Structure 1
Amino acid sequence: MKDMHRDKSKAGEIKNKSDLSIKLVAALQWLVFIMMNTIVPPVIVGNAYGLGAEQIVGLVQRTIFLVGFASLLQILWGHKLPLMEGAAGLWWSIFVIMAQNAVALGQNPQLLLPKLEGGLIIAGILLILLGITPVFHFFEKLFTPLVTGVYLILFSIQMSIILFSGMLGLTDKGTVDWKFMVVSIITVTITFYLSFKGKGLVKSFSPLAGIICGWVLYTLLGTSGGQIALPTASDVFSLPRPFSWGMPEFDSGIILMSVMVSFILLSNLFASVQLLKPAEPGNGSDMASKRGSIVNGIAVALSGIFSGIGTIPFSISVSFIHITGNASRHPFLLASIMMIIAGLISPVGYFFAAIPIVVGYAISFVVFSQMITFGMQNIFKAGIKEKNLFTFSISACIGISIIFLPAQTFEKVPALISGILSNGMLVGTAIAMIFEHLVFRKSEL
Structure 2
Amino acid sequence: MKTLFKMEHWLAGLQWLFFLFTNTVVIPITVGAAFQLPQDKIIALIQFSFFFTGVACMLQAVLGHKRAVMEGQSGLWWGVILSLCYTAPSQGLSLTALGGSLAVGIMISGLITMLIGLSGFSQHISKLFTPGVMAVFMFLLGCRLNIIFLKGMLGIPFGTHSESAHIDLSLFLLSSAVVVAVIVFSVKAPPVLSRYSLLIGIIAGWILFDLLFNNKEGIDIAGEISIKLFPLGAPSLDIGVIVIAIAAGLINTSNTFGALKGTDEIYKTTSTAKQYGRSFTISGLFAIIAGLFGMVPYAPYVSSIGFLNQTKISERLPFIIGGGMFMLMGLIPAIAGVMARLPLSVGSAVLFVTYLRLLHTSLQYFAQIHLSTDNIYRLAAPLFIGIIFMSFPLSYFETVPSVLRPLFSNGLLVGILLSLLLENIRFKSLGTRKNQNRMKELVQEGKSI
Q: Which amino acid aligns with 1:408?
A: S
Q: Does 1:265 find its partner at 2:256?
A: no
- 1:217 pairs, out of 208, 213, 229, with 208
The equivalent of 2:170 in structure 1 is 179
Contact kept in structure 2, 1:80 and 1:283, CA below 8 Å: no
For residues 272-318 of structure 1, give each alpha carbon's deviation from its aligned partner in whole angstroms, at most 9, with x where no partner exists: 10111122246732321221111111110111122221111110011
- 1:406 pairs, out of 393, 398, 405, with 393
Q: Does 1:65 find its partner at 2:22?
A: no
Aligned residues: 426
For residues 77-105 of structure 1, give each alpha carbon's deviation from its aligned partner in whole angstroms, at most 9, with x where no partner exists: 11111111111122222222222233335
Equivalent residue runs for 1:106-125 within 5 Å = 107-125=93-111
Q: Distance in 2 between matches of 1:108 and 1:251?
A: 11
Distance of aligned partners of 1:293 and 1:212 in 2 relative to their CA distance in 1, 3 Å threshold: same
- 1:78 pairs, out of 60, 64, 71, with 64
Q: Distance in 1 between matches of 2:289 and 2:32?
A: 18
TM-align CA RMSD: 2.3
Contact kept in structure 2, 1:163 and 1:365, CA below 8 Å: yes
Q: Distance in 1 between matches of 2:399 and 2:40?
A: 33
The equivalent of 1:359 in structure 2 is 346
The equivalent of 1:248 in structure 2 is 235
Q: Which amino acid aligns with 2:398?
A: E
Contact kept in structure 1, 2:389 and 2:409, CA below 8 Å: yes
Contact kept in structure 2, 1:122 and 1:259, CA below 8 Å: yes
Cα deviation, residue 267, structure 1: 0.8
Percent identity, please: 29
- 1:203 pairs, out of 186, 194, 197, with 194
Q: Does 1:190 find its partner at 2:181?
A: yes
The equivalent of 1:234 in structure 2 is 223
Q: Which amino acid aligns with 1:70?
A: A
The equivalent of 1:336 in structure 2 is 323
Equivalent residue runs for 1:411-422 within 5 Å = 411-422=398-409
- 2:281 pairs, out of 294, 298, 305, with 294
- Bigger Cα displacement from structure 2, 319-328 vs 374-383: 374-383
- Normalising by structure 2, we get a TM-score of 0.89
Q: Distance in 2 between matches of 1:357 and 1:214?
A: 11
Contiguous gaps of at least 5 residues in structure 2: 158-162, 436-449
SS at match of 1:86: strand
The equivalent of 1:127 in structure 2 is 113
The equivalent of 2:359 in structure 1 is 372
Distance of aligned partners of 1:205 and 1:405 in 2 relative to their CA distance in 1, 3 Å threshold: same
The equivalent of 2:414 in structure 1 is 427
Q: Distance in 1 between matches of 2:254 and 2:382?
A: 16
SS at match of 1:312: strand
- Bigger Cα displacement from structure 2, 48-57 vs 91-100: 91-100
The equivalent of 1:154 in structure 2 is 140
SS at match of 2:357: helix
Distance of aligned partners of 1:188 and 1:388 in 2 relative to their CA distance in 1, 3 Å threshold: same
Q: Distance in 2 between matches of 1:343 and 1:174?
A: 31
SS at match of 1:260: helix
Q: Which amino acid aligns with 1:29?
A: Q
The equivalent of 1:98 in structure 2 is 84
For residues 236-281 of structure 1, give each alpha carbon's deviation from its aligned partner in whole angstroms, at most 9, with x where no partner exists: xx47544444653344333222211111011111011011112224
- Bigger Cα displacement from structure 2, 292-301 vs 273-282: 273-282
Q: Distance in 2 between matches of 1:132 and 1:153?
A: 30
Equivalent residue runs for 1:307-322 within 5 Å = 307-322=294-309
Q: Distance in 2 between matches of 1:273 and 1:296?
A: 13
Q: Distance in 2 between matches of 1:414 and 1:337?
A: 44
Q: Distance in 2 between matches of 1:118 and 1:17?
A: 44
Cα deviation, residue 20, structure 1: 1.3
For residues 203-240 of structure 1, give each alpha carbon's deviation from its aligned partner in whole angstroms, at most 9, with x where no partner exists: 11000011011111111111525333x3x5123xx475
Cα deviation, residue 178, structure 1: 1.9
The equivalent of 1:3 in structure 2 is none
Q: Distance in 1 between matches of 2:22 and 2:147?
A: 17
For residues 173-197 of structure 1, give each alpha carbon's deviation from its aligned partner in whole angstroms, at most 9, with x where no partner exists: 4642122112111110111111112
Cα deviation, residue 367, structure 1: 0.9
Contact kept in structure 1, 2:98 and 2:241, CA below 8 Å: no
Cα deviation, residue 361, structure 1: 1.1
Cα deviation, residue 18, structure 1: 9.8
Distance of aligned partners of 1:414 and 1:344 in 2 relative to their CA distance in 1, 3 Å threshold: farther
Contact kept in structure 2, 1:179 and 1:223, CA below 8 Å: no
- Normalising by structure 1, we get a TM-score of 0.90
Contact kept in structure 2, 1:296 and 1:311, CA below 8 Å: yes
Contact kept in structure 1, 2:216 and 2:341, CA below 8 Å: no
Distance of aligned partners of 1:285 and 1:343 in 2 relative to their CA distance in 1, 3 Å threshold: same
Contiguous gaps of at least 5 residues in structure 1: 1-12
